[in-house]
């Protein structure tokens, strides 16, 4: 399983999590791939991989990359 990280203001990768699909869609659009995992497991996995705290339901700056339906199709074809 892979996780997409966002870029923080300092340029470093940031792990984010959302408390509902609606909040994820509001922040990153309706084509954003997602998976539900226990928050404790996710936070430990991010920590074990050298990342700082997970940002929960973050306010994202304008211009954050969002997935399109075409991006999802391309990715799906690439991993099949």
Q: Quick one: average pLDDT of 20-37?
A: 93
First to last CA, the chain: 14
* Mean pLDDT of all residues belonging to the chain: 92
6 backbone dihedrals φ, ψ, rounded to 5°: -95, 165
**Would you list the domain boundaries of the chain?**
6-79
| pLDDT bucket at 2, cuts 50 / 70 / 90 | confident
Q: What is the pTM of this model?
A: 0.83
């Amino acid at each position: 399983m892979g996780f997409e990280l966002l870029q923080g203001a300092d340029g470093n990768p940031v792990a984010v999590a959302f408390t509902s699909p609606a909040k994820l869609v509001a922040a990153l659009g309706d084509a954003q791939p997602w998976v539900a995992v226990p928050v404790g497991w996710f936070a430990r996995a991010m920590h074990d991989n050298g990342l700082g705290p997970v940002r929960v339901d973050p306010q994202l700056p304008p211009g954050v990359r969002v997935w399109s339906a075409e991006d999802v199709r391309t990715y799906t074809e690439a991993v099949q």
